[in-house]
Structure 1
Amino acid sequence: MSRFLIGRLGASLVSLFGASLVAFLILRLSPGDPARLFLGPFAGREAVDALRVELGLDGSLASQYLLYIANFLRGDWGFSYSTGQPVATLIARRFPATLELGLFAFLLAFVAAVALALVAAYRRGPTDAGARAVSFFAMGVPPFWFGLVLLLVFFEALGWLPGPDGRLSLRTIPPPAVTGFVTVDALLAGDGAAFRDALAHLILPGVTLALMPFSFLFRLLRANLIDIAREPFITVARSRGLTRWWAFVRHALPNAFLPTLTASGLLFGQLLAGSVLVERVFVWPGVGALVTDGVLKQDFSVVQAFILLSAVIYVLCNLAVDLIAGLIDPRVAGAAR
């Protein structure tokens, strides 16, 4: 197990090194001078040169990279050129909204995938074909387009759900901030109206963001269930009096679940890092909207911090899932030796 852990940690460090290089080079190789972008076009040359020295931009690329990593580890992620605020402050302010949306979307995707995969693998035929058609649609449809369709149908046409106005309606008083999750904070404050409003605002962006992970998890779990259903121990379980459905639920599902668990961690990390366009469509005040504004305004400090932070989240999720899989099934750790 120790060799397995060391191997996974080494692979994680290599991945983080590559991501840090990409994030570092984005700002250095992009057109324009970061110091000039920060001070504006009318600043004098002396002021620009002084700021370059202060930011460490006058040294070699190697020295700049080491300074960049040291600052990142200290929580100094630079300043936003467009707002003049520390990037770490901006991201910390918006990240709870992204995390709440990501957790909600992942929960939707996971529950729907497990339920539909069980039904599809148990009832082969039209039910299975319909479930696979839904998964193919979810895999192929662009999320931002599907989000717009959902808004047109459920907000504009039917009026059942709120539109793109953030995490709460304007008429709703936000609950006291405790966790940063509006739904949780509303429950802690005993504010049922705020909780219902926050939950309603999560539904459309959550469904949109859950499409891709749902499709992947469903297809993976369905294929594993079908393979395991042919194993002899399922026949033995049936011979002991279990119905075919309970043999699926009690024996086939736990044995098919390990690959799904591994994929779930990767998909959750991807959800947090890949919600940029969905947040933009629904005017969700998360990190995604901050990054798109940074790209449009050439605020590269925000973009490079987001790239490296996304890599850290993705690698940590991957590492955690690998360790959990190794603890659940020692064969996973043995195969990595």
Structure 2
Amino acid sequence: MIRIAASRLATSLIALLGAALFAFIALRVAPGDAARLVLGPFATDEAVQALRVKMGLDDPLPVQFWHYLTSFVSGDWGWSYSLGQSVRDLLGERFPATLELGLYAFLFALVAAVSLAVIGAFRRGLLSDGVPRALSVFALAVPQFWFGIVALIIGFEMLGLFPGPSGRLPPGVTAPAGPTGLYTIDALLAGDLATFATALHYLALPAITLGLLPFGFLLRLLRANLLDVAGEPFVLVARAQGQSHFRVFLRYVLPNAIIPTLMASGLILGQLLAGSVLVERVFNWPGAGSLVTQGLLQQDYSVVQTFILLSAFIYILANLFVDLLAAAIDPRIARGAGQ
């Protein structure tokens, strides 16, 4: 286990460096002048040049990249010239909302997909098997933003069961003070169950909307793996030995089939954190999506680069955890990594 953790950690550091380099190069080859965009079209050339020097844009690219990396590691994430605020403060306000939304969307996708796939594979029938297949096709085919709009029309406007696009908490409700910035977690830590329930209620529709696509993918993947493993010779031998269908499924089929799903789930979590812009727009969610969109349009390097690195860091941590979990479930993975 230690060997596979060290191997995955080394790979993760390379991936993190690659993400940083990609973000750095992509923003600088984009057309336009960041200093000119900040000052506007009527600024003098002298003012633009002075701002370029202040932003470090006149330094050689390797020097800029080195400053970018060392500043990120030291906690100095730069200054947003388009918004006139520290990037650390901006993302400190917005990123927890994106993180909480992504985590709950991932939790919904994983739990719902595993539950339906297990039911469909364990009890084969028209209802238990056909409904999950239909749901997976629907989830993969429907655009998330369209589903979000329809969910708001039905759940909020017509039925009044869910809150509208008004953020993370209703007006007048104070956000729970806590170390994480995740309202549900901070409310639980404070023992404030009323605020926890309210925050969870406001998360429901955005999280389901964002988790719809990964739910469909994980459901199809796990269902196919379950059916494949169920036909393997070792499963048939276990059944021939007189073991119950439930015991064989729980001991042999599910552990072997769920590993590819776990490996894919790490990739999905990273996608959810970086790909929530449209869903945040639909639900007026105060996350980092709109902030990064504005940063891209304004070529606000510090905002976009820091967001990409934070997302890559969380994505790498999630995949490292999933790799270790898969190795704990199936020791053959750990032995293969050690060879």
Report the equivalent of 1:163. Answer: 164
The separation in 2 between residues aligned to 1:56 and 1:84, in whole angstroms, is 17
Q: Deviations over 1:144-197 (max 9, x none)?
A: 111111011111111110011000111433333443121233334443432222
The separation in 2 between residues aligned to 1:135 and 1:194, in whole angstroms, is 33
Over 3 Å counting, the alpha-carbon distance change for 1:27 and 1:15 in structure 2 is same
Residue 204 (structure 1) shift: 0.3
Q: Check if 1:77 corresponds to 2:77.
A: yes
RMSD over aligned CA atoms reads 2.5
Q: Check if 1:302 corresponds to 2:313.
A: no
* Counterpart contact for 1:116–1:131, Cα < 8 Å: yes
Report the equivalent of 1:64. Answer: 64
Report the equivalent of 2:104. Answer: 104
Residue 13 (structure 1) shift: 3.5
Q: Deviations over 1:263-316 (max 9, x none)?
A: 222211221122121111111111112212333444343223222322232233
* Counterpart contact for 1:26–1:300, Cα < 8 Å: no
Amino acid at match of 2:141: G
Over 3 Å counting, the alpha-carbon distance change for 1:6 and 1:300 in structure 2 is same
Alignment of 1:87-236 (within 5 A): 87-126=87-126, 127-235=128-236
Amino acid at match of 2:134: A
The separation in 2 between residues aligned to 1:106 and 1:308, in whole angstroms, is 20
Alignment of 1:16-27 (within 5 A): 16-27=16-27
**Any stretches of 5+ residues in structure 1 without a counterpart?**
none
SS in 1 for 2:80: coil
Q: TM-score, normalized by length of structure 1?
A: 0.89
Amino acid at match of 1:164: P
The separation in 1 between residues aligned to 2:317 and 2:194, in whole angstroms, is 36
The separation in 2 between residues aligned to 1:9 and 1:193, in whole angstroms, is 40
Residue 5 (structure 1) shift: 4.9
Report the equivalent of 2:8. Answer: 8
Q: Which moved more, 1:43-52 or 1:245-254?
A: 43-52
Alignment length (residue pairs)? 337
* Counterpart contact for 1:97–1:180, Cα < 8 Å: yes
Report the equivalent of 1:55. Answer: 55
Residue 9 (structure 1) shift: 3.9
Q: Deviations over 1:19-40 (max 9, x none)?
A: 2222112332233322333344
Q: TM-score, normalized by length of structure 2?
A: 0.88
**Any stretches of 5+ residues in structure 2 without a counterpart?**
none
* Counterpart contact for 2:34–2:299, Cα < 8 Å: no
Q: Which moved more, 1:114-123 or 1:317-326?
A: 317-326
Q: Deviations over 1:219-240 (max 9, x none)?
A: 2221221122223443454456
SS in 1 for 2:85: coil
The separation in 1 between residues aligned to 2:195 and 2:19, in whole angstroms, is 39
Report the equivalent of 2:252. Answer: 251
Over 3 Å counting, the alpha-carbon distance change for 1:232 and 1:273 in structure 2 is same
The separation in 2 between residues aligned to 1:168 and 1:258, in whole angstroms, is 37
